[in-house]
Amino acid sequence: MGHEDVGHFADKHPKETHLDPALAEKIKQHSTEDQLTCAAAHRIAEELSLPPAQIGIAMDLMEIRIGKCQMGLFGYQPQKRIVKPSPSVPAELKADIQNALTDNRISCQRCWALAVKHDIRKIDVAAACESLQIKINRCQLGAF
């Protein structure tokens, strides 16, 4: 959901979707100004042994925005996204990205796995994708 949808994140989910009070409290503890960073959301998921998508749903129900996407795709001020195309993409990374594509797109989760495999930052994988004109989809927190 985009900036114009602020205040309507919960509308993405069925009315009967339940918000766990303990999870809500944990999110409140780590959020500021109705925003929780991507890194903090993933730390909460790991700490509570929950899938990141469940944290994203809780955030939506609480109308809390995701900030500072670890891929650099959104949540930064004032420019919103900070990822820039990489000047060059190593051949092995390029091949791995291309092998991970579905409909000329790559999931956030696969990008993260490639960052680990290649021992590089997540934003560096996103920068390689930008260079290759490949869109990243399926945010693990459900932002896109």
Q: Where are the domains of the chain?
A: 3-67, 91-137
Residue 8 in this model has a pLDDT that exceeds 90: no
Is residue 37 exposed (0-12), middle (13-18) or buried (19+ Cβ within 10 Å)?
middle
Residue 5 in this model has a pLDDT that exceeds 60: no
Decide: 80 and 74 in contact? Cβ < 8 Å.
yes
Residue 130's pLDDT is 98
